[in-house]
């Protein structure tokens, strides 16, 4: 079925020149019919002091959006027209684009879609002229959303992609991304990425969706940490499909021509309205008219029968093609070079479904849709987590349900590809639970597969080999008690009684181990030494707290804390692995979207360390000691990857073979660590080699 593009049909416009400013509206939708009021706006713009004009523009925009939400659309449009007059009087092109975006949002809320598109296009021209990639991308998102709410997914995808493309270019200048942005956009950037992924999956454009889902992780990091830089992988953005290229070419030609007119227009508008000659006023009106005619021709083009047919063909063609081959082939090549057969799993949580995308070295990306509502998924995640942290509870029911949703739909694909390690980029609340503890009715997933978490394939070097010689710096908080403010409450963190034995066992296994205990284990002493070792083992509390990065921290033995943001200042380019053996997430039972866990993994990568092991809840000290003893006993042989070493250590707790490796089983300690509470908490994030 061809999409309905009637709203972009050519409409007859009456060109209104507001004080020579050239604002264009259809006759039937004039913001106001009071000509004198328009001139008063101009007089007010001139009367305002230079210092107050920006504040006035911002205030008018904010009040207009507030009025629009209260159903006072006409009053809101009048305020925005007033703001527009001031922006042009002042020459504030950036705020002019903001105001046009907000005018578009109000028309959109009134379902006046042609007028909304017109306003967004005006904003697009200005942002393109200014070279503001951040706001240009967000304006493309507004246009994409406008098509989306009219059930025109192909054109929505086309414009959403342009948001992503410009956003990823801007990521090379991370300070630009973190600059405050006015409220002028229908949805956030991460929402744009998420919706784009959803629309692509619905059209079975799986390679493009995988790319979008990967970059979504990067954008989520940006929203949490800010100033997250891009790289040569992220800047590639996403490919424009062959069937989209004629529209892309026409759009670029239109914008380039309109921007050239806009530059002349900007120059003329710098002349005070009172000082403009008749010829200059006429030229301004002509330039505005010419710009609008260019946009009308573009709208007429995308409404033409040939383009309608082409747009309708996009999704059908995309289903048959491996689009975005450059990025996909790079990812496949990375997977193929790993020593164990590996696949990458991307889940995407949507309102009414869980979407799974699996990338293997040999085949096109595989897509499976699981019919489960977000609320039901979240409830099961919560029940699973509660069972995980309480060994007395029956865990197998939620573990089996999550297996049926997350693994069973791709079970045959994993078997066919011979997958041994699953490289996992979890979404939202899935970050709070370990994939290894899912249950298939006979065994835990970890008994079949290793699991290696990543923040994003675009940010992870999957193939950098580990250092051959083990040298360990081991710090431990074993005694004492510190009151730490976590969010809005005080939490007591006590020394870990088994941490001493944990470190002693480690030193017995790895001769080149340096121990720092309690007061000697301080940031001042420990951090400068870390890069002299291949493994940094921290047997101490760490808390990943919902909220700001500053709320999450690592506690040192002397009571000092290093928050999550400051972790990235560590320089660890020679460190292969950082181990935090007593971390905790979801303090107070509060689960967010897991951005603090995603942020921890990324911050560790920023230090230069290849990977990190962290726990999702605070584990019984005896269980931690047993797992770590098994882990270091296995890794010291030098024959296995970190991911496989962790898997085998976890399996050893399930079947009890850890006792053979342990140097010391404390008298009276729990000796059955087969429940996932003891072993499943630990996850590996980053390079799994």
Return all residues near 470 (Cβ < 8 A) that are at least 6 apart: 510, 512, 534, 535, 635, 636, 638
Q: How many residues does the chain have?
A: 689
Arithmetic mean of pLDDT, 200-225: 95
Q: Is residue 680 within 8 Å of residue 434, measured between CB atoms?
A: yes
Do the domain assignments include residue 411?
yes
77, 112, 147: which is the final residue of a domain? Answer: 112
Structure tokens of 349? 């949580």
What is the structure's pLDDT at 521? 96
Q: Reduced to 3 states, what is the DSSP secondary structure of residue 210?
A: helix
Closest CA to 107 of 64, 137, 148: 64
Does residue 1 carry a pLDDT above 60? no
Does residue 161 carry a pLDDT above 90? yes
Same domain, 476 and 618: yes
What is the structure's pLDDT at 325? 65
Same domain, 497 and 601: yes
Same domain, 485 and 615: yes
Same domain, 396 and 498: no
pLDDT band of residue 603 (cuts 50, 70, 90) is: very high
Same domain, 556 and 623: yes
Q: Is residue 628 within 8 Å of residue 535, measured between CB atoms?
A: no
CATH of the domain at 575: 3.40.50.360
Does residue 10 carry a pLDDT above 70? no
| 616 DSSP 8-state letter | S
Query: What's the mean pLDDT when you consider all of the chain?
Result: 87
What is the structure's pLDDT at 323? 55
Does residue 5 carry a pLDDT above 50? no
What is the structure's pLDDT at 35? 27
Count of H-run helices and E-run strands, the chain:
25, 17
Does residue 455 carry a pLDDT above 90? yes
pLDDT tens-digit map of 30-40: 332 232 233 34
User: What one-character-per-residue DSSP string does 525-567 give?
Assistant: HHGGGGGGSSEEEEEEEEEE-SS-GGG-EEE-TTS-EEEHHHH
Domain residues for the domain of 407 are 333-416
Closest CA to 159 of 261, 302, 358: 302
Do the domain assignments include residue 71?
yes
Do the domain assignments include residue 52?
yes
Task: Provide the number of structural domains found in the chain.
Answer: 3
Arithmetic mean of pLDDT, 139-146: 97
Do the domain assignments include residue 377?
yes
Rg for the chain, CA atoms, rounded = 29
Determine the Cα–Cα distance for residues 32 and 230; give it in Å rounded to an integer.
45
Determine the Cα–Cα distance for residues 311 and 243; give it in Å rounded to an integer.
7
Q: Is residue 64 within 8 Å of residue 80, measured between CB atoms?
A: yes
Same domain, 395 and 483: no
**Which strand (E) or helix (H) includes residue 122?**
helix 113-130
Arithmetic mean of pLDDT, 385-401: 92
What is the structure's pLDDT at 7? 32
Q: Is residue 615 within 8 Å of residue 583, measured between CB atoms?
A: yes
Highest mean pLDDT among 326-330, 442-446, 595-599: 442-446
Task: Name the more confident of 311 and 388.
Answer: 388
What is the structure's pLDDT at 9? 32
Same domain, 394 and 526: no
602, 619, 641: which is the final residue of a domain? Answer: 641
Same domain, 492 and 602: yes
Does residue 550 carry a pLDDT above 50? yes
Residue with tokens 């921007």: 259
Same domain, 389 and 518: no
| DSSP3 helix / strand / coil % (the chain, rounded to 5) | 55, 15, 30
Please give the angle made by the CA atoms of 249, 250 and 255, to the nearest 5 degrees.
100
Residue with tokens 């098509």: 147
Do the domain assignments include residue 565?
yes
**Torsion angle of C-alpha atoms 55, 58, 62, 65, degrees rounded to 10:** 150
Does residue 663 carry a pLDDT above 70? no
What is the structure's pLDDT at 103? 97
pLDDT band of residue 608 (cuts 50, 70, 90) is: very high
What is the structure's pLDDT at 378? 96
Please give the angle made by the CA atoms of 582, 584 and 590, to the nearest 5 degrees.
170
Q: Model-level pTM?
A: 0.88
Do the domain assignments include residue 607?
yes
Task: Name the more confident of 467 and 630.
Answer: 630
Do the domain assignments include residue 372?
yes
What is the structure's pLDDT at 43? 47
pLDDT tens-digit map of 281-333: 899 899 889 888 888 888 888 778 877 777 777 766 665 554 566 778 888 88
| 172 DSSP 8-state letter | T
Structure tokens of 306? 């040939």
401, 416, 431: which is the final residue of a domain? Answer: 416
Helices (H), 226-304: 245-269, 278-302
| Burial environment of residue 340 by CB neighbours within 10 A (0 to 12, 13 to 18, 19 or more) | middle
Determine the Cα–Cα distance for residues 232 and 6; give it in Å rounded to an integer.
40
Same domain, 411 and 481: no
Give the largest CA-CA distance in the chain.
98
Structure tokens of 191? 């929402």
Do the domain assignments include residue 210?
no
């Amino acid at each position: 079925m061809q999409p309905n593009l009637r709203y972009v049909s050519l409409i007859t416009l009456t060109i209104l020149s507001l004080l020579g400013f050239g604002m264009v509206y259809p006759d039937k939708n004039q913001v106001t019919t009071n000509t004198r009021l328009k001139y008063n706006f101009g007089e007010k713009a001139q009367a305002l002091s230079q210092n107050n004009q920006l504040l006035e523009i911002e205030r008018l925009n904010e009040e207009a959006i507030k009025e629009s939400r209260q159903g006072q659309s006409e009053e809101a449009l009048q305020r925005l027209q007033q703001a527009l007059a001031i922006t042009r009087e002042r020459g504030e092109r950036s705020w002019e684009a903001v105001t046009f975006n907000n005018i578009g949002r109000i028309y959109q809320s009134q379902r006046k879609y042609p007028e909304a598109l017109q306003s967004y296009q005006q904003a697009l021209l200005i942002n393109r002229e200014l070279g503001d990639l951040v706001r240009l991308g967000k304006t493309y998102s507004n246009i994409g959303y406008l098509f989306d709410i009219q059930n025109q997914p192909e054109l929505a995808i086309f414009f959403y992609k342009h948001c992503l493309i410009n956003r990823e270019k801007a990521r090379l200048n991370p300070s630009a991304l973190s600059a405050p942005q006015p409220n002028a956009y229908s949805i956030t950037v991460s929402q744009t990425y998420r919706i784009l992924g959803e629309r692509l999956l619905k059209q079975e454009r799986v390679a493009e969706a995988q790319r979008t889902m990967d970059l979504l992780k990067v954008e989520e990091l940006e929203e949490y940490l800010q100033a997250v830089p891009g790289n040569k992988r992220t800047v590639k953005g996403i490919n424009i499909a062959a069937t989209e290229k004629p529209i892309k070419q026409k759009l670029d030609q239109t914008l380039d021509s309109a921007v050239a007119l806009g530059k002349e227009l900007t120059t003329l508008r710098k002349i005070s309205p009172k000082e403009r000659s008749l010829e200059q006023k006429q030229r301004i009106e002509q330039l505005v008219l010419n710009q609008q005619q260019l946009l009308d021709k573009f709208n007429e083009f995308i409404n033409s029968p040939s383009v309608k047919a082409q747009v309708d063909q996009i999704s059908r063609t995309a289903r048959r093609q491996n689009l975005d081959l450059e990025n996909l082939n790079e990812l496949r090549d990375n997977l193929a070079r790993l020593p164990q057969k590996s696949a990458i799993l991307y889940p995407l949580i949507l309102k009414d479904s869980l979407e799974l995308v699996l990338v293997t070295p040999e085949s096109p990306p595989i897509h499976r849709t699981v019919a489960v509502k977000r609320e039901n998924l979240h409830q099961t995640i919560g029940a699973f987590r509660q069972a995980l942290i309480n060994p007395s509870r029956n865990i197998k029911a939620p573990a089996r349900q999550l297996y049926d949703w997350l693994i069973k739909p791709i079970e045959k694909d994993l078997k066919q590809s011979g997958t041994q390690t699953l490289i996992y980029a979890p979404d939202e609340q899935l970050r709070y639970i370990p994939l290894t503890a899912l249950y298939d009715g006979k065994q835990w997933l970890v008994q079949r597969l290793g699991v290696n978490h990543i923040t994003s394939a675009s940010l992870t070097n999957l193939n950098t080999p580990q250092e051959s010689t083990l040298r360990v710096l081991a710090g431990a908080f074993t005694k004492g008690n510190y009151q730490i403010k976590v969010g809005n409450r005080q939490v007591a963190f006590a020394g870990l009684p088994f941490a001493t034995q944990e470190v002693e066992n480690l030193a017995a296994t790895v001769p080149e181990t340096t121990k720092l205990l309690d007061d000697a284990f301080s940031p001042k002493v420990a951090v400068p030494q870390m890069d002299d070792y291949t493994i940094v083992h921290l047997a101490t509390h760490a808390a990943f707290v919902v909220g700001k990065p500053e709320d999450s921290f690592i506690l040192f033995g002397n009571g000092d804390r290093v928050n999550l943001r400051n972790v990235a200042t560590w320089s660890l380019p020679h460190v292969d692995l950082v181990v935090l053996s007593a971390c905790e997430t979801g303090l107070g039972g509060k689960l967010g979207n897991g951005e603090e866990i995603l942020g921890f993994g990324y911050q560790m990568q920023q230090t230069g360390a290849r990977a990190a092991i962290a726990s999702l809840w605070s584990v019984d000290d005896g269980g931690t000691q047993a797992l770590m003893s098994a882990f270091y006993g296995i890794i010291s042989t030098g024959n296995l990857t970190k991911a496989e070493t962790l898997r085998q250590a976890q399996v050893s707790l399930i079947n009890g073979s850890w006792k053979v490796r342990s140097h010391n089983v404390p008298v009276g300690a729990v000796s059955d660590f087969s429940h996932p509470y003891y072993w499943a908490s630990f996850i590996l994030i980053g390079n799994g080699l």
